[in-house]
Structure 1
Amino acid sequence: MTTSIQRRGLGAVRDKFNVVFCDVWGVLHNGERIYGGAVEALQNFRKADGAVILVTNAPRPSAEIVQDLLATGVPSDAFDGLVSSGEVTRDLIADYAGQTIYRLGPQSDDGLFAGIDVKFGPLDKADAIICSDLELGRAPKDYAQEVLDWQARGLPFICANPDKFVEIGDQMIYCGGALADVYAQAGGNVIMAGKPFPPIYEKASQLVLSACNIALSDQRIIAIGDSARTDATGAANIGAGFLFISGSIHAHELGDINAPDEAQIEKLLAPTGANVVGYSPFLVW
C-alpha cells in the first residue's frame, strides 16, 4: 500500500524549519540510556543556526530536569533550553495559594510546589487534587472507587504529567495522564497545561525568543515526538510540522521496530491532524 509517510532524519527537513520542539523521554533517552543519534541530530540542527527547545511532560521544574540530563551525559550544546509540564503546571497550582490540596505522586516531585503557598491535606478538606504521577505499584483501575469519591466531591484534578505511559528500558509504566483519563470519563474536571495543550508551547516559544532572539512571528517550528496523543496532537494544535519517532511507545503497534509499517503509522497519526513531515524509528540527522 502506498502512503504519504516517508522515512526521514531531521537533516532532510532542516531547511523548512528554524526551531525544534523536541520530546525528551522516548526520543532523547529511554530512561536508561541516551540515544547518541538523537543528540547528534539536535547538535547539527543548532550548528545550522536552528534553535532547540526540549519540551517534556515530566512533572518537575525545568531546572531540575536540565541538571539531570547534563548529569547523565546529555551535552549542553544539544539544546538551548527546556520547558516541562511541571513548570507550566506550577502556574495552575499557584491559583490555589493559601488553600488545601490533596496530593498524589512521589516525594521526588516535591520541587513542583517549591515557593508556592499551598497546604497538603486529606481529601475531605481539599479544594483540588494535584497528581504528578500514580502512586508506586498502582494502575489507573486501582483508583476506581476513589475516582467516584473525587467526582462526588466535585474536585478539580490538576494533572502535572499528561502522558499515559513512559518507557523505562523495555517496560511501559503508567503516568498521571492515564488516571486523568479515568477521572474525565467519570465526569470529573481535569486541568492540564502540558502537551498537547497550548501553555507549554507558548512558554517554549517565549524561550526561543529570549534565548535565541528569534521573534515569535519568525519561528518555523518542527515538533519531534513519539506520542500520537500528546506530541502529534500538540504539533497540530500549534500548526507545527511533526517528525514522528516510531520506535518508542507505539512500536508494538507498528510491526518491525526498524522497518515499521508505514500504512499503520499513517493510520495512527491521521486522526491527530498533524502535518507529518516524516518518521524515523529513532531520531537521527
Structure 2
Amino acid sequence: MKKINSIIDIENQYDLILCDIWGVLFDGDRIFPGVHDALSKISKKVFLLTNSSQRVTVLEAMLNKLQIARNTHYQLLISSGEFFCQSVIHQTLPLKLPAKYFFLGKNHQIIANLPNIERVHNHHDAQMLVLAGNVLYKNEIEQINPILEDCAQNQLPLFCLNPDMISMDADKRPVACDGQIANHYQQKSGPVIYMGKPNQPIYQYALKNSMIHQPKVLMIGDSYSTDGLGALNSQIDFALVSSGVEYHHWQTNNTNMSFEQWIHQQGYQVKWLLDSLN
C-alpha cells in the first residue's frame, strides 16, 4: 500500500477508472473539495459505480445539481438498482422470468412498470423478494420479521438492490443500509442475491460497457467490504479514500494506531491510499 496525494498521480497506469460516489465524491450533501478538478483532469475513462438502488436517471439528475456532468467528469454511471432493472429487462437474473415479487422497502418506484415481473401484496404468492430503500427502523424490522422467516423457510430468493451495510451522512454519522436486512435474511438461511458490489457481475457489466479489450482497471472507494472486496474478486487494483466508511470504522475502534497502520492490521489488500481524489 502506498500513500498518494492525488488520483492524477497514478491515472496513467490504468485504462479505466471505476469510482464510488457516496464517501468518495460527496458526503450525501456536499461535494468534497477538489473533486471537480480531479475528475476534469483525468484523461482515462471514468465510470461511476455505486450501490445505490436508484435508477441512473435519478442519480444523474442529482449529480447535475452538484455540477458533476456526464462526458465532462465521467463517461458512464452504473448503479446496483439500474443493474437489477437491466437484468430484469434482458432476463439475465439467476431466476426464471416472468416472476411475481413481494417488495420490501421505500423505493418501489425504482422497479415499477418493469416488464417480466409482477408485484404481489402477499408474500405467499411471490417467487422472489425485492429489497430497495431502507427498512431499518426497529418497529419496521419487527413488522417484516415474520415475512422474512416465512420466506426464508420457503427458500424464496431475496434480491438486494443496495448491498451496503452502512453509509456516512453529511455529519459523518453512519446510516444503516439495505445490506443489513439482507444479512439478517441470510442468517435465517434465506438465499440472497446482491446486485451490486462486491459481487462480480456488476464489475463484469462495467468492463463490458467500457469497450476496452482487457483493460487495466482501478477501483476507487471508501469501503473495503464492498469496493475493496469487489476489486479483489475481479482482480482489479483498489484505491481507498479515507473519507468514508473505513475511516469511520477506524475512528470508532478506539485504537492508538494511525489509519494506515490500522488498514495493515485488518489485512486489507489496498494498492493506493489517499485522503481525497485531489
Give the structure-2-normalised TM-score: 0.86
Moved more, 16-25 or 142-151: 142-151
In structure 2, the residue matched to 1:132 is 132
Higher-helix-fraction structure: 1
Whether 2:262 is the aligned partner of 1:264: answer: yes
- CA shift, 1:277, in A, is 2.2
CA distance in structure 2 between the aligned counterparts of 1:203 and 1:113, rounded to whole angstroms:
23
Structure 2 residue runs without a partner (length 5+): none
CA distance in structure 2 between the aligned counterparts of 1:140 and 1:243, rounded to whole angstroms:
36
In structure 2, the residue matched to 1:177 is 179
1:3-152 matched pairs, under 5 angstroms: 4-46=1-43, 50-76=44-70, 77-93=72-88, 94=91, 95=95, 97-107=97-107, 109-121=108-120, 122-135=122-135, 137-138=137-138, 142=142, 143-152=144-153
In structure 2, the residue matched to 1:163 is 164
CA distance in structure 2 between the aligned counterparts of 1:261 and 1:71, rounded to whole angstroms:
33
CA distance in structure 2 between the aligned counterparts of 1:89 and 1:36, rounded to whole angstroms:
32
Structure 1 residue runs without a partner (length 5+): 210-214
1:184-223 matched pairs, under 5 angstroms: 184-209=186-211, 215-217=212-214, 219-223=215-219
Identity %: 25
CA distance in structure 1 between the aligned counterparts of 2:236 and 2:38, rounded to whole angstroms:
19
- Give the direction of change, closer, same or farther, for the CA distance of 1:167–1:253 in structure 2 (3 Å limit): closer
Contact 1:140 1:178 in 2 (8 A): no
- Report the residue type matching 2:67 in the other structure: G
- Report the residue type matching 2:20 in the other structure: D
Residue by residue over 1:8-59, the C-alpha shift from the partner in whole angstroms, topping out at 9 and shown as x without a partner, is: 421222221121100011111111111231232222113xxx1100001111
- CA shift, 1:92, in A, is 4.7
- CA shift, 1:78, in A, is 0.9
Whether 2:227 is the aligned partner of 1:231: answer: yes
Give the structure-1-normalised TM-score: 0.84
- CA shift, 1:82, in A, is 0.7
Whether 2:250 is the aligned partner of 1:254: answer: yes
- Give the direction of change, closer, same or farther, for the CA distance of 1:206–1:98 in structure 2 (3 Å limit): closer
RMSD: 2.4
In structure 2, the residue matched to 1:212 is none
Moved more, 88-97 or 35-44: 88-97
- Give the direction of change, closer, same or farther, for the CA distance of 1:162–1:149 in structure 2 (3 Å limit): same
Residue by residue over 1:118-145, the C-alpha shift from the partner in whole angstroms, topping out at 9 and shown as x without a partner, is: 2222112111100013326348964544
Equivalent residue in structure 1 for 2:275, among 255, 264, 281: 281
CA distance in structure 2 between the aligned counterparts of 1:162 and 1:186, rounded to whole angstroms:
17
- Give the direction of change, closer, same or farther, for the CA distance of 1:260–1:38 in structure 2 (3 Å limit): farther
